[in-house]
C-alpha cells in the first residue's frame, strides 16, 4: 500500500481554470499534522525518534517507580509510582561495547556489582573521602526488619557493609567478567523529577500518624528506597568464576574496549580463561562461538545494564517534609513526649477506691516508659493541689493512676480530669504523637528518703522560665505513697516537699 506523506505546491481549487497562480499557494502540507511548519532534517528526525522511544522505555522499565531491595538482595522496581518527570530528560545514543573485570572484596561491593551499580562499587573501593559515608552511615535494606530505613543525617545511597549478609558468600574468591553493549543513556537530575502526588500524600499522612517510624518504613517499602538519575540501556553478558580457578591474578578493570567484529582479541582472552559461555540477564546462555553474532544484534530487546547516580527517594521530597523526617529520625532515641491524654473522673469514687486504669490507643511496643500527670478542674482546667496522682503498672496497652487526697477539701473529684503525659524513646515504643514532637524533654530519677520531708534536688540540666516540671513517685514498700509538691526552683535545682496523704 502506498501512503501519501506530503503534498507540495498546493493551490486553491478555484484557481485551477485560471492561467495565473495567486500568492496564496502552500509550499507543503503533511496529512494529519495540523501544525506542520517544515521538514525535519535527518539529524532532527533521529533525535526525536529517540524521545518517542523514551515514552516506551519509561513504561517498559518502570522508571517512574522507585527501587527496592527484595528478600534475595536484588534491586527491583516498586509496585507504586514514586516520581513524576516534569522536564524531558536528556537521552544520548551511545554505541559502545566493553569488557569489565571486577573482583569484589566485601559483601557490599558484591551487592552493588550484582545489581549493576558499578560506579558506586568503584567509589567504595577507592580511598576518596566521600566513600567514608558508606562506612559511617546505614540504610536498612531488609524488608522484614523494624529498623528505620533512613539514616539520621545522610540520605544519599549509603549502606553499611555489615548490614548486608549472605550465608553462603566467600568474598574475595569470585571474579566477575561482564560484557556491556551500551545503546542509550537516559540522564535525569533532581530538577527533572518530583514526588508523585500519591507518594507525597503517603509521606504527609505518615508524618501526621501516631506511628511515623513504622509507617515511614512501610511507605518506602511500597514506593521504593532509591531512584537512579542515570540509566544505561543496552545488553549485557556475564560470567562469575572462582578467583582460585584462574591462572591470572586480576585487578579491577573498569572498561576494556572489545574492538570491532569479529572480536578476535576478546574471544581469545575468554578462551584463555576457559570461559566457554556467558549468561544474559534473561534467555539462553551465549556460547563464545556465538558471541560475535550476539553483539551485532543488541539493538533489539534492550534492558537496563547499569544504574548510576542513585539517590534516596527522600532527596526529592519537599523541604518541609524532609525537615519533619529529619526531626523524627534524629530524635527517635531521645526522651520525647510520646502521647498525652485526658481522663474524665465522673464515675470515680475516691472514698471507695484510689486506682483508675487508663488504656491507651495505639498500644506501645515496649513497657519502658514513664507517665506523669496531675488532677485538674473541669471548670477552669487549673491544677488542684488538694489531690495528687502517681502512675504505675505500665504495660503495652496502658497504666494505672493512683489518686490520693493531700488535704481535706470540698472539691468533688467527679468534677475533675486526670491529665497525663507519656515520656519515652520513640524508637523503643514505635509511637510518637505529632502534637508534641517539638517539645524538648529532659528526664532523670533519684531516690528520696521518706523521713526527709524537704529536699533540694540538683538537676543534671539547666532550668529556665517557661519550663514545665512533672514529678512521679514510687514506693519501695507497700506503705501509702507520699505526695510530692514543688516548692521552688532555680537554674540548676528544685526544692520539693513530701506530704503524707489522707488515708480513707
- Euclidean distance between CA atoms 353 and 254, whole angstroms: 78
User: Which backbone phi and psi does 54 adopt, to 5 degrees?
Assistant: -60, -40
- Averaged confidence pLDDT in the chain: 80
Same-domain check for residues 214 and 338: no
Residues 291 and 409 in one domain: no
- Give the pLDDT confidence of 74-120 residue by residue, as tens digits: 889 999 999 999 988 899 988 888 988 888 887 778 888 888 887 76
**Which range in 17-26, 50-59, 156-165, 220-229 is most confidently predicted, on average pLDDT?**
220-229
- Looking at residue 34, its pLDDT comes to 42
Q: Look at residues 324, 344, 373 and tell me which one is the last residue of a structural domain.
A: 324
Residues 392 and 307 in one domain: no
- Angle at the Cα of 96 from the Cα atoms of 125 and 75, rounded to 5 degrees: 50
- Domain match, 278 and 358 both: no
Q: Are residues 372 and 420 in the same domain?
A: yes
| Contact criterion met (CB below 8 Å) for 313 and 82 | yes
pLDDT of residue 57: 92
Tell me how far apart the alpha carbons of residues 121 and 187 are, in angstroms, rounded to a whole number.
20
Which of 270, 294, 324 is at the close of a domain?
324
| Predicted local distance difference test score (pLDDT) of residue 149 | 42
Query: DSSP 3-state assignment of 388?
Result: strand
Q: Does residue 211 lie in a domain region?
A: yes
157 lies in the same domain as 61: yes
pLDDT digits (tens, 9 = 90+) for 350-368: 888 889 999 999 999 999 9
As for how many domains the chain has, the answer is 3
- Can the peptide bond before residue 262 be classed as cis, meaning omega within 30 degrees of 0? yes
Query: Tens of pLDDT along 251-289?
Result: 667 778 887 777 888 888 888 888 889 999 888 899 988
Please indicate whether residue 64 or residue 482 has the higher confidence score (pLDDT): 64
Distance (Å, whole) CA 195 – CA 201: 9
Least confident segment among 151-155, 368-372, 373-377: 151-155
pLDDT of residue 196: 96
By C-alpha distance, which of 483, 489, 452 is closest to 469? Answer: 489
- What confidence score (pLDDT) does residue 249 get? 66
Closest to 490 in 3D by CA, of 468, 459, 455: 459
pLDDT of amino acid 9: 65
Both 13 and 111 in one domain: the answer is: no
Helix and strand counts by DSSP (H, E) for the chain = 10, 22
Q: Quick check: 476 pLDDT over 70? A: no
Closest CA to 361 of 202, 215, 211, 147: 211
- In terms of Cα–Cα distance, which of 218, 224, 216 is closest to 321? 216
pLDDT, greater one: 388 or 249:
388
Segment 390-405, tens digit of pLDDT: 999 999 999 999 998 8
Tens of pLDDT, residue by residue over 9-33, are: 666 666 666 666 555 555 555 444 3
What pLDDT does 151 receive?
Answer: 30
- Asked whether residue 134 is assigned to any structural domain, the reply reads yes
Among the ranges given (35-39, 247-251, 331-335), the one the predictor scored with the smallest mean pLDDT: 35-39
| Domain hosting residue 1, numbered range | 1-38
Q: Considering the domain boundaries, does residue 377 fall inside one?
A: yes
Which of 268, 289, 324 is where one domain is finished?
324
Same domain assignment for residues 310 and 386: no
Phi and psi for 427 in degrees, rounded to 5? -65, -30
| Same domain assignment for residues 350 and 444 | yes
- Any domain includes 461: yes
* Length of the chain, in residues: 504
The sign of the dihedral angle between the CA atoms of 32, 38, 41, 46 is negative
DSSP state of 503: P
Share of the chain above pLDDT 90, in %: 38
| Claim to verify: residue 299 and residue 350 sit in the same structural domain | no
Query: N- to C-terminal Cα distance for the chain?
Result: 104
Higher pLDDT, 436 or 408: 436
**Residue 6 resides in a domain:** yes
**Is 44 part of any domain?**
no
> Does 46 fall in a domain?
no
Provide the pLDDT confidence category of residue 334 given band limits of 50, 70 and 90.
very high
Residue 333 CB contacts under 8 Å (≥ 6 apart), including other chains: 425, 426, 427
Between helix 212-223 and helix 197-207 the angle, nearest 10°, is 170
Nearest to 69 by CA among 157, 141, 151, 145: 141
In this structure, the answer to whether residues 145 and 224 fall within a common structural domain is: yes
Domain shared by 146 and 247, yes or no: yes
Cβ atoms within 10 Å, residue 109: 24
Question: Does residue 488 sit within a domain?
Answer: yes
Which pLDDT does position 428 carry in this prediction?
A: 94
Amino acid at each position: 500500500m502506498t501512503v501519501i506523506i506530503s503534498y507540495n505546491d498546493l493551490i486553491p481549487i478555484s484557481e485551477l481554470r485560471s492561467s495565473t497562480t495567486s500568492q496564496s499557494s502552500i509550499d507543503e502540507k503533511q496529512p494529519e499534522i495540523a501544525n506542520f511548519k517544515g521538514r525535519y532534517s535527518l539529524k532532527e528526525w533521529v533525535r526525536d525518534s529517540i524521545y518517542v522511544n523514551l515514552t516506551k522505555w519509561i513504561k517498559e522499565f518502570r522508571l517512574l517507580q522507585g527501587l527496592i531491595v527484595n528478600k534475595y538482595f536484588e534491586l527491583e522496581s516498586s509496585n507504586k509510582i514514586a516520581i513524576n518527570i516534569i522536564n524531558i530528560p536528556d537521552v544520548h545514543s551511545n554505541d559502545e561495547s566493553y569488557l569489565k573485570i571486577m573482583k569484589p572484596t566485601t559483601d557490599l561491593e558484591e551487592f552493588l556489582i550484582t545489581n549493576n551499580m558499578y560506579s558506586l562499587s568503584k567509589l567504595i573501593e577507592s580511598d576518596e573521602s566521600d566513600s567514608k559515608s558508606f562506612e559511617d552511615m546505614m540504610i536498612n535494606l531488609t524488608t522484614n526488619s523494624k529498623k528505620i530505613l533512613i539514616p539520621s543525617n545522610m540520605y544519599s545511597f549509603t549502606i553499611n557493609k555489615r548490614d548486608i549478609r549472605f550465608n553462603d558468600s566467600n568474598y574475595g574468591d569470585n571474579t566477575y567478567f561482564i560484557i556491556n553493549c551500551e545503546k542509550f543513556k537516559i540522564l535525569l537530575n533532581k530538577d527533572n523529577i518530583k514526588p508523585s502526588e500519591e507518594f507525597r500524600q503517603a509521606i504527609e499522612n505518615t508524618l501526621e500518624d501516631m506511628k511515623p517510624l513504622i509507617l515511614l518504613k512501610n511507605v518506602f517499602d511500597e514506593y521504593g528506597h532509591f531512584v537512579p538519575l542515570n540509566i544505561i540501556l543496552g545488553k549485557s553478558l556475564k560470567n562469575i568464576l572462582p578467583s582460585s580457578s584462574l591462572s591470572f591474578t586480576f585487578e579491577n578493570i573498569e572498561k576494556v574496549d572489545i574492538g570491532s567484529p569479529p572480536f578476535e582479541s576478546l574471544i581469545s582472552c575468554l578462551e584463555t580463561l576457559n570461559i566457554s559461555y556467558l549468561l544474559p540477564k534473561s534467555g539462553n546462555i551465549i556460547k563464545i562461538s556465538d558471541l560475535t553474532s550476539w553483539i551485532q544484534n543488541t539493538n533489539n530487546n534492550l534492558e537496563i545494564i547499569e544504574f548510576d547516580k542513585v539517590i534516596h527517594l527522600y532527596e526529592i521530597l519537599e523541604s518541609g517534609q524532609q525537615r519533619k523526617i529529619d526531626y523524627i529520625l534524629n530524635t527517635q532515641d531521645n526522651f520525647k513526649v510520646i502521647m498525652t491524654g485526658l481522663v474524665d473522673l465522673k464515675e470515680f469514687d475516691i472514698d471507695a477506691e484510689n486506682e483508675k486504669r487508663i488504656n491507651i490507643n495505639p498500644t506501645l511496643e515496649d513497657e519502658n516508659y514513664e507517665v506523669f500527670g496531675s488532677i485538674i478542674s473541669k471548670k477552669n482546667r487549673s491544677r488542684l493541689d488538694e489531690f495528687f496522682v502517681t502512675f504505675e503498672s505500665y504495660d503495652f496497652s496502658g497504666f494505672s493512676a493512683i489518686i490520693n487526697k493531700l488535704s481535706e477539701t470540698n472539691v468533688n473529684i467527679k468534677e475533675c480530669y486526670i491529665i497525663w503525659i507519656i515520656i519515652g524513646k520513640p524508637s523503643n515504643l514505635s509511637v510518637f504523637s505529632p502534637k508534641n514532637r517539638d517539645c524538648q524533654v529532659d528526664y532523670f530519677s533519684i531516690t528520696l528518703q521518706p523521713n526527709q520531708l524537704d529536699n533540694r534536688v540538683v538537676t543534671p540540666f539547666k532550668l529556665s522560665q517557661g519550663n514545665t516540671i512533672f514529678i512521679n513517685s514510687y514506693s519501695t514498700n507497700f506503705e501509702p505513697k507520699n505526695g510530692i509538691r514543688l516548692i521552688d526552683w532555680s537554674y540548676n535545682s528544685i526544692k520539693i516537699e513530701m506530704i503524707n496523704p489522707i488515708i480513707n
